[in-house]
Amino acid sequence: MFLTYLGHSTIYFGNNDYQVVIDPFLSGNPQCTMKVSDLKVSHVLVTHGHADHLGDALELCRREGVQLIANYEICRYAQQFGVENVIALNIGGTAHTVFGAVKMVAATHSSTLEAPDGQLLPGGLANGYMVDFFHRRFYHAGDTGLTFDMKLLRNKKKRIDIAFLPVGGQYTMDVHDAIIATKWLKPKVVIPIHYNTFPEITVSLKPLQRAYAKGKTRCKIMKPGATVRGSYEKKK
Ligand code: NI
Ligand code: MN
């Protein structure tokens, strides 16, 4: 299995058979060096309608066999632009996919969709995802402020392997709130996202690294474009 950080909130992982991208913001993402045409995907997950998350989702999902998982409003919007293969969820709902369960979980954020003519449309509720990719569990928080709802995501029997948490502030949690979220989630690894893409979300990760120097969570800072590999399918 591979896991690649494409910058901002764009997480790409998978194996030879299935490849998942969450919030595919490639075009216009100053941190992303990968072209949409080079991205091989089977499943696209979108956390909310903002352009830095919906990104290239529609283009990717118009490809044969690619499935979109998003909230109902985003799925309906995508269908109007030629996307056929969708699983529409709402908060608390789970999609049972070929690689495992994808559960839509709460986020505290907004979700406007911008139509090609510039019109702003309601994009449902913003959300996060708990994704089981075979035996690995990933939590992608989407854009969110710190919320007590995160406490519900901790499952002592099935620990989160990697939590992707926004840390840039202004539109989402900042590094200090992410430290609190980590205490509640107790994941094995935190990978910070949604920072340094734009001037207003430029931050220092030092407090984060300092906070995780001790304790049972490791902070892994991934450079945009970096990939980690491992035999993630095997149960330990
Ligand atoms: Ni947003
Ligand atoms: Mn955002």
Contact 47, 89 (CB under 8 A): no
d(CA 192, CA 142): 11
What CATH number did the domain enclosing 112 receive? 3.60.15.10
d(CA 215, CA 159): 15
Is 233 part of any domain?
no
Phi, psi (rounded to 5 degrees) for 211:
-65, -30
Q: For 175-221, what is each residue's pLDDT tens digit?
A: 999 999 999 999 999 999 999 999 999 999 999 999 988 888 999 99
Is 67 part of any domain?
yes
Sheet holding 101-106, edge to edge: 94-96, 101-106, 127-133, 136-140, 162-166, 189-193, 218-219
Domain that holds residue 45: 2-228
Is 236 part of any domain?
no
pTM of the shown model: 0.96
- Give distance in angstroms: CA of 50 to centre of ligand 1: 5
Give the number of whichever ligand sits closest to the CA of residue 111: 1
Is the model's pLDDT at 103 over the cut of 80? yes
pLDDT-derived band at 136 (thresholds 50, 70, 90) equals very high
- Give distance in angstroms: CA of 173 to centre of ligand 1: 11
d(CA 83, CA 154): 34
Contact 219, 187 (CB under 8 A): no
Beta strands, E only, 125-161? 127-133, 136-140
- Give distance in angstroms: CA of 157 to centre of ligand 1: 31
- Give distance in angstroms: CA of 145 to centre of ligand 1: 11
pLDDT-derived band at 236 (thresholds 50, 70, 90) equals very low
Average pLDDT, the chain: 95
Q: For 40-93, what is each residue's pLDDT tens digit?
A: 999 999 999 999 999 999 999 999 999 999 999 999 999 999 999 999 999 999
- Give distance in angstroms: CA of 197 to centre of ligand 2: 10
d(CA 173, CA 169): 5
Question: Which of 93, 94, 98, 75 is closest to 85 using CA atoms?
Answer: 75
Into how many domains does the chain fold? 1
% of residues, the chain, pLDDT over 90: 94
Is 234 part of any domain?
no
Is 235 part of any domain?
no
3-state secondary structure of 77: helix
pLDDT value at residue 231: 65
Question: Which of 153, 148, 182 is closest to 167 using CA atoms?
Answer: 182
